[in-house]
Every structure is written in C-alpha cells, then in structure tokens.
Amino acid sequence: MLSLGPQHTTIWDRLDEEEIKIVSQAMVSLGTIESTSVESLLEEFVTSVAGNGSIQGSVEQTQRLLASIMPEDRVDSIMEEIRGPAGRTMWDKLGNVNEAVLANYLKNEYPQTVAVILSKIKPEPAARVLTVLPDDFAMECVSRMLRMEPVQREILDKIEQTLRTEFMSNLTRTSKRDSHELMAEIFNAFDRQTEARFMIALEERSLESAENIRALMFVFEDLGKLDPAGFQTLIRSAEKDQLLLALKGASDGLRDQFFSNMSERAGKLMRDDMMNLGAVRLREVEQAQMAIVKVAKDLAGRGEIMLGGQSEEDQLVY
C-alpha cells in the first residue's frame, strides 16, 4: 500500500476503520525497505494472482489454506470466530448476538466489566441487553457507565480475549441450527400425502423425532391462533384467489374465523365465490394453503402479526 501511494485511494475506500488501523499500524513498524525487496514482493504478488487465474473464497477453501500454514488449534480458533455472529470486531459481533443469550452470560460478570462491554457496543443492542438483565444489576451497570473513565487498552484487550475464548467460542459450538427445526420446515413444504408417508415411516424408526418435528411444524390450521388484528392483516396481504382456494379446504371453524374478520360484504362475496368454484384438486388447495402460511410467516418475521397467539405482555390495551 505504501508503494502504491496516494493515487490509489480507492483501495483505502474499501477498507473499514478497523482494517485501516491494522494496516496503518503495520506501516508504522516497517522501517526502511530496499527497492529490490519492494519489486520482488510486487512481482511475486502479481505472478501469484495471474498464475491462479480466478479465485473462489469459501469457508472450506479458507480453512484448507489456513491449515497448511498454521497449527490446527489456531485454525480452529479463527474458524470458530468466523462462523460466529457477523461483524469485523468483537464489539460488532456482540451487537449481533441475541440479547437474551448475551444477558445470560453477562449477568454472571462484574458490573464494571459489563459496563465496559455495553459502552463498546452500539446503543440499540446495549439497550436490549439492559432490558433483559435483572433490574438491580442493570441499574448498577448504568451507574458505572455514567461514571466510567477512559479504559486502558490492556484492559480492553483482556476483556476481548475473555469474550473470545469463553463466550464466542461456546456460542459458535451451541448455536448450530436444530436439525428438527430444519426438518419441520421441509415437512411443511410436502403435500399432505407425502408428509403423511414420511411421518409414518419416521414414527416407526424414531417416535421421539417424529413428535418433535410435528410439534415444530406450522400448518394452515394453526392460523386459527391469530388474534383479530392478525387475521385482518393476513387477509389484506394475501392474494384473493389463493385465500379462496385455501379456505375451500379449511375446517369450518377456521373458515368462520376468516369470514368473521372480513366486512359483511367481503365475507358474502367470498362465500359466493367459494360455492361457484365447484370441485378443486386437493393439490391445488394444499399449494394455496402453503402460500398463505408463507405470507403469514413473512408478516410475523416483520413483526406485523404474531403467530401462536399472544402472551400477556403482548396484549394491547385500548
């Protein structure tokens, strides 16, 4: 970078602040380098890139490369951090950890340590963590943050190292997605006949796994747990033709719930359209129901509706 000079500022533009600091620190410590060494280095770099042609970056490729140049335990440590929460620095990563998980770890630390950590992450995740921590402990952390003086670099480095070895490493090992949850989503995508066939076969091999998957599956009839506002939001968001087909194969109870959350005129029109629809293929009904479930899940993911009913603290007061 030193040899390229200021005319290649576009490279610097692609680095974040932490990367610029790292490169800059390395530059400061370089001292004098002979021109022959610079030329040799640049030639080696260009030859290496040109000789390999296109390159592909992936977890597997990176791990293989690291394994060829450093000890296995160091490679494992680096890859664990890469597979962990997103973020270039430890503080960025902490900000992307679920607040309940982070709070559960921090509540066993000294309030002063927690105060330092919360002062280093962004305000939004810090606020979420404080909300989850026990009230007295959270207030003690807030008090210490208010009185905090600049923290020495050595102390920050020690805290970062502890977080990396005790928290992030364990988080990476335990945060792998549950296989039953993944399989439940696959089963949700089956038509009913295929789902029943696989479920019966699975019950014969492992009844416990079958029951776990069944408990995690979300099907069209589960929409009956929506509150009135959720029904109305879903009705507005769903395509009319898909909703019509989906309700054609719904239970009387669920169908009535949908109709009761429509205007009288819209409900009557929907009932009339359903009667005029005549016989339809079961496969078409199932596809329509799966489409409505997907709409519901998307709405839930954006926080516009709640699937599975409301807890007491989520209820609205008018």
pLDDT range class, residue 298, cuts 50, 70, 90 = confident
Q: What pLDDT, on a 0 to 100 scale, did the predictor assign at position 55?
A: 54
Average pLDDT over residues 214-218: 75
List domains and CATH numbers for the chain: 6-44 (no CATH), 84-174 (1.10.220.30), 179-216 (1.20.5), 220-308 (1.10.220.30)
Q: What pLDDT, on a 0 to 100 scale, did the predictor assign at position 80?
A: 59
Average pLDDT over residues 7-29: 79
Both tokens of 259, joined, read 């109709």
Neighbours of 127 (CB within 10 A): 11
Q: What pLDDT, on a 0 to 100 scale, did the predictor assign at position 15?
A: 79
Each residue's pLDDT tens digit, 237-273 = 999 999 999 998 888 899 999 999 999 999 999 999 9
Average pLDDT over residues 43-69: 69
> Which of 27-41, 134-148, 216-230 shows the highest mean pLDDT?
134-148
How high is the mean pLDDT of the chain? Answer: 81
Q: How much of the chain exceeds pLDDT 90, in percent?
A: 21
Measure the CA–CA gap between 1 and 23, rounded to whole angstroms: 9
Each residue's pLDDT tens digit, 69-121 = 888 777 766 665 565 555 567 787 788 777 888 888 888 889 999 999 999 98
Q: What pLDDT, on a 0 to 100 scale, did the predictor assign at position 290?
A: 84
Handedness of CA 60, 63, 68, 71 (dihedral sign): negative
| φ and ψ of 240, to 5 deg | -60, -45
| Helix runs in 121-206, H state only | 123-132, 135-146, 153-162, 169-174, 179-189, 192-205
Measure the CA–CA gap between 206 and 214, rounded to whole angstroms: 12
Q: 93 and 85 in contact (C-beta within 8 Å)?
A: yes
The predicted model scores a pTM of 0.39
